[in-house]
Structure 1
Amino acid sequence: MTKQADFYDAPAHDYLRYWDGRDYENASEQAAIRRLLHGRRFGHAADIGGGYGRLCVLLQEFADQVTLAEPSSRQLDIAATFLADHPRIEHRRMQADALAFEDGSLDLLTMIRVMHHLPEPGGEFAEIGRVLRPGGTAVIEVANLAHARNRVRYLLRGQRIPHLPVDIRSPENRHDEEIAFVNHNPHTVIEQLARAGLRAERVLSVSNLRSTTLKKVLSHRVHLAAEVACQQVLARTFFGPSVFLLLRKD
């Protein structure tokens, strides 16, 4: 399957508007990143596959220099407007498996909501290992195949959670020419990252309370507070639909 950004270049796909009504999800992810990076300061940080720069402003809280590394020209066009008030954030077009950074040049790398497009992420992990300096930090989000509801589904079928990625699109929405959309077994991903020299130091379970009903009955403040309280507690069980990994390059 293609790893190119054609899907996100299409005029019909407005990733900026995608986040309308997803304040909980956005805030949950930002809370996780802040928790993982709390008290730390970096030189050069890059957000890989960062779209229009949604998380780049947050990264400025932790890094002296921030680069948005995004393969879609359309998303970079949107970023030019979205990040207009942040002229120090650099925008560069590149693929996650061919990063245009020198070896060991990054102190911090984030890759959020990218893994669900990568059925075979070995090339991307090798690139992350290449561009991070020794001792450098990465925060990678994993689209989690082993989340709680899935474990119940597989248990009722008498099956184990698959070791390999699973395409989660419905058959009627699955076309060979489209970009991949997969969920990963986090145990497998942690093993793959270790082979690339990236050691998992901390895990958070994220978007644990993602629910249309809860969004209606809880205020955003209460909903988010409950989410933040759950992220560390539920991490060991990979409860939520997203798993955030804090990694260190050996």
Structure 2
Amino acid sequence: MNDDHTNVRDFFGARAARWDARFPDDGPAYEAAVAEMGLRPGDRVLDAGCGTGRALAPLRSAVTDTGVVLGADLAPAMLEAAVGARRDGAGRLLLADVTALPLRSASLDAVFAAGLVAHLPDPGGNLRELGRVVRPGGVLALFHPIGRSALAARQGRALTPEDLRAEHNLRPLLASSGWTMTSYADEESRFLALAVRTD
């Protein structure tokens, strides 16, 4: 495991036990984001970097019992917190690195990724890996329960034009990684970029 992965795992691992208590009101934002993905009963979806599993129940509701919901995270403590919150009943949890997924190519219909992009060591390559496991025409949702400005303020940093999630950066990054952005919302109360897997 390289230093980037170790740092991310350790950062989230140290915060896992208190994560849900720090952000107790995010549930409706997750539900609304999942609703915009257009998932159908029977779809196969991955929550990439699932953390404590807050998206698993909305994803399960969208794909119903006939679908498949997977949650993958690099931090064992986050997956333990998901089990502790009894969210593992909504999907199968995988201790896995989203930059090298243990999944077959084109085996999924969609990927949901909350707060993931900023933590990817090689955003272009890593988005290609997410694309590898999604069928052509499948959907990617890059989500955060607050917008870029609100997140920067929370973290005590300035919002810069180099921000990876800025539309002028994210759109070409997705395009070069096999995705076509179909919508982009950066509001105080949420960030959601949707993209479709191209051939």
**With structure 2 as the length reference, what TM-score do the two structures score?**
0.79
- CA shift, 1:108, in A, is 1.1
1:115, 1:141 within 8 Å by CA — same for their partners in 2? no
2:4, 2:121 within 8 Å by CA — same for their partners in 1? no
Distance 1:9 1:39, change over 3 A: closer
Distance 1:40 1:187, change over 3 A: farther
Distance 1:125 1:144, change over 3 A: farther
Q: 1:200 aligns with which of 148, 172, 181?
A: 181
- Between 1 and 2, higher relative CO (CA 8 Å, sep ≥ 6) is seen in 1
Question: Which residue type is aligned with residue 61 of structure 1?
Answer: S
* 1:75 paired residue number: 78
Partners in 2 of 1:9 and 1:118 — Cα distance? 16
Partners in 2 of 1:198 and 1:18 — Cα distance? 33
Superposition map of 1:122-201 within 5 A: 122-141=124-143, 147=149, 161-162=160-161, 164-165=162-163, 184-201=165-182
* 1:6 paired residue number: 10
- CA shift, 1:137, in A, is 1.1
Q: Identity percentage over the alignment?
A: 24
Q: Secondary structure at the match of 2:112?
A: strand
Superposition map of 1:231-250 within 5 A: 242-250=190-198
**In the TM superposition, what whole-angstrom CA distance separates every residue of 1:130-185 from its partner, at most 9, and x where no partner exists?**
1101111111126865x49x8xxxxxxxxx952x33xxxxxxxxxxxxxxxxx632
Question: Which residue type is aligned with residue 102 of structure 1?
Answer: R
Partners in 2 of 1:29 and 1:12 — Cα distance? 18
> How many residues end up aligned between the 2 structures?
184
- CA shift, 1:100, in A, is 1.4
1:186, 1:243 within 8 Å by CA — same for their partners in 2? no
Question: Which residue type is aligned with residue 141 of structure 1?
Answer: F
Distance 1:186 1:144, change over 3 A: farther
1:69, 1:92 within 8 Å by CA — same for their partners in 2? yes
2:33, 2:143 within 8 Å by CA — same for their partners in 1? no
- CA shift, 1:43, in A, is 2.0
Q: Secondary structure at the match of 1:57?
A: helix
Where has structure 1 moved over 4 Å in runs of 4 or more? 142-145
Unaligned stretches of 5+ residues in structure 2: 153-158
Partners in 1 of 2:41 and 2:184 — Cα distance? 20
CA RMSD of aligned residues (A): 2.8
* 1:27 paired residue number: 28
Unaligned stretches of 5+ residues in structure 1: 151-159, 166-182, 210-241
Question: Which residue type is aligned with residue 126 of structure 2?
Answer: E
Question: Which residue type is aligned with residue 249 of structure 1?
Answer: R
* Larger Rg over CA atoms: 1
1:140, 1:246 within 8 Å by CA — same for their partners in 2? yes
**With structure 1 as the length reference, what TM-score do the two structures score?**
0.64
Partners in 1 of 2:15 and 2:184 — Cα distance? 36
